[in-house]
Structure 1
Amino acid sequence: MTADDTQTYYIWNQYFTKPMLQTELEEAGFSIKEVYSDVTGKPYTAKSDTMAVLVEKN
């Protein structure tokens, strides 16, 4: 993936903090495998404005 072929989608239907999302996912039978700052895989930090989450069904 390169910057030339990256598409951006803005879906502002819900706001989650990382702990909120983790709780909801665990209650639904999923576990978080990785958390990124965006879909290109940039490292997530507490100051990130967005997050992309890789989850796995338990």
Structure 2
Amino acid sequence: MEGKTVSVKVVEIVSVSAFGYNIQTGKHLDFVSTDIPNLKKGDKVILKAKEVKSALG
């Protein structure tokens, strides 16, 4: 997925996260932004994955 561009629907934005602003888009599929995203629940957005990490290691 690294380097890929994807179209997703925002399920929730979690602003208090250890990683930054957590953009939840589905089960086990979150995107993190260090900037405050101008998004809300239900928005459709196109994102580019710069780096992929697993919380499970």
Q: Which interval holds the TM-score relative to the shorter structure?
A: under 0.3
Q: Which has the higher contact order (CA 8 A, sep 6+)?
A: 2
Q: Name which one, 1 or 2, has greater alpha-carbon Rg.
A: 1
Scaled by the length of structure 2, what TM-score is found?
0.25
Scaled by the length of structure 1, what TM-score is found?
0.25
Q: Which has the higher strand share?
A: 2
Q: Which has the higher helix share?
A: 1
